[in-house]
Amino acid sequence: MAIALPEGLIVPAVLGCESKNLEDISSSAKDLAARAKGEGAPLTQEENSGGTFSVSNLGMFDIDQFTAIIVPPQSAILSVGKARQEAVVENGEIKTAQLMKMTLSVDHRVNDGAEAAMFLAELKSILESPSKIFG
């Protein structure tokens, strides 16, 4: 995850995500953010350099969409904008829905566009039906 500090942006990693549940990942991310801001023990070298994928959220700054730059040696970064209520057409009727734009920047030396598209499709599916996270 990308964390803005007065000294600049850092991208510490939640390590071992593949063996953590959603609650553990959330707890680890909160701990990393607090320690990055100087609360508690300092970040380890591995936490500062061991990431492979980052998420950058500028939605809280009222940003709709942006493209983040990959921080080496990572392979991708997901940019998340603000969720907005917008008019959509569904089955021929106009309704309102919460929409959020995301952009995925991928290092093509590591991943290809097809894999990136499949990842975004799966992420979209999960966000539209959050119960899929637990199934």
Please identify every residue annotated as catalytic.
108
For residue 58, give every residue at least 6 positions away whose Cβ sits within 8 Å of its Cβ, in sequence order, or none: 66, 79, 80, 81, 82
8 Å CB contact between 51 and 60: no
> What span, in angstroms and rounded, lies between the C-alpha atoms of 33 and 11?
10
**Lookup: tokens for 50:** 């061991």
Q: Which of 134, 133, 114, 113 is nearest to 123 (CA)?
A: 133
For residue 81, give every residue at least 6 positions away whose Cβ sits within 8 Å of its Cβ, in sequence order, or none: 58, 59, 63, 64, 65, 66, 100, 101, 102
